[in-house]
Amino acid sequence: MTDTHDHHQPPEGALPGALGAVLADPDLWEDPEPGLEDAVAGEIGARAGPAGGAPRRRWPGVAAAAAVLAVAGVVAGVAITVGDGPDGSGPDDGGGAPAGVEVALSGTGLAPGAGATALVIDTPLGTRIDLDVDGLGPAPEGSYYEAWMSDRDGRVGVSAGTFHLRGGDGAIELWSGVSLAEYPQLTVTLQEAGETAGSDRVVLVPG
Amino acid sequence: MDDLIARFRAGEDEAVRTVYRRHAGAVGTVARSVLSDPELVAEVVQQTFLKAWQAAATFDADRELAPWLYTIARRTAIDVARSEGRPALGGHALEHEVGVDAPSFERTWEVFEVRRAVDDLPEREREVVRLAHLLGFTHREIADRLDVPVGTVKSRLGRAHRRLGAALGHLEWAANRAGPGAVQENERR
pLDDT in tens, B87-129: 444 444 444 444 566 778 888 999 999 999 999 999 999 999 9
Which DSSP state fits A62? H
Minimal C-alpha gap between B94 and chain A (Å): 22
Q: Please report which confidence band the pLDDT of residue B86 belongs to, taking 50, 70 and 90 as the band edges.
A: low
Question: At A81, is the secondary structure helix, strand, or coil?
Answer: coil
ipTM over 0.90: no
* A13/B139 touch (CB, cutoff 8 Å), yes or no: no
Average pLDDT over every residue of B55-80: 87
The pLDDT value given to residue A13: 47
Is B69 in contact with B23 (CB distance < 8 Å)? yes
Q: Which chain B residues are Cβ-neighbours of A58 within 8 angstroms?
A: none
SS3 A56: coil
Kindly list the distances between the CA atom of residue B145 and the CA atoms of A1, B138, B139, B140, in Å, as whole numbers in the listed order: 22, 11, 10, 9
- Interface mutation target, options A19, A31, A174, chain B, most CBs of B under 10 Å: A19
pTM of the entire structure? 0.54
CA distances from A41 to A122, A169, B10, B120 (A): 25, 29, 12, 22
- pLDDT surpassing 90 at residue A191: no
Statement: residue A28 has pLDDT above 90: yes
Q: Cβ–Cβ of A11/B154 closer than 8 Å?
A: yes
Other Cβ atoms closer than 10 A to A34: 7
The SS3 of residue B151 is helix
Say whether pLDDT at B19 is over 70. Answer: yes
Residue in B with minimal Cα distance to A125: B51
Contact (Cβ atoms closer than 8 angstroms) between residue A164 and residue A145: yes
Question: Given pLDDT bands bounded at 50, 70 and 90, which one contains residue A197?
Answer: low
- pLDDT at residue B189, as a whole number: 28
d(CA A15, CA A9): 9
How far apart, in whole angstroms, are the C-alpha atoms of residue A148 and residue A91?
A: 33
Q: Are B79 and B63 in contact (CB under 8 A)?
A: no
Question: What is the band of A195 on the pLDDT scale with cuts at 50, 70, 90?
Answer: low
Q: How many Cα atoms within 13 Å fall on the side-chain side of residue B160?
A: 28
CA–CA min distance B65, chain A (Å)? 16
CA B17 to chain centroid: 17
Residue A91 has pLDDT above 60, yes or no: no
Cross-chain residue pair A27–B33, CB shorter than 8 Å:
yes
Mean per-residue pLDDT, B141-158: 95
- Per-residue confidence at B148, pLDDT binned at 50, 70, 90? very high
Going from the C-alpha of B71 to that of each of A105, A118, B65, B115, B116, the distances in angstroms are: 36, 30, 10, 16, 15
pLDDT value of residue B35 = 92
Closest approach of B25 to chain A, Cα-based (Å)? 6
DSSP for A101-130, please give it.
EEEEEEE-TTSTT-EEEEEEEEETTEEEEE
pLDDT higher at A97 or B83: B83
A145 within 8 A of A189, measured Cβ to Cβ = yes
Query: Over the stretch A102-151, which tens digit does the pLDDT of each residue have?
Result: 888 888 878 877 888 888 888 888 889 988 888 888 888 888 888 988 88
pLDDT of residue A14: 58
For residue B23, give the H/E element and its range: helix B13-34
Q: How far apart are CA B81 and CA B76, in angstroms?
A: 8
10 Å CB burial of residue A147 (0-12, 13-18, 19+) is buried
Question: Strands A100-107 and A143-150, how do they pair?
Answer: unpaired
Which range in A14-18, A75-79, A83-87 is most confidently predicted, on average pLDDT?
Answer: A14-18
Distances (CA, A) of B183 to B151, B173, B179: 17, 18, 8
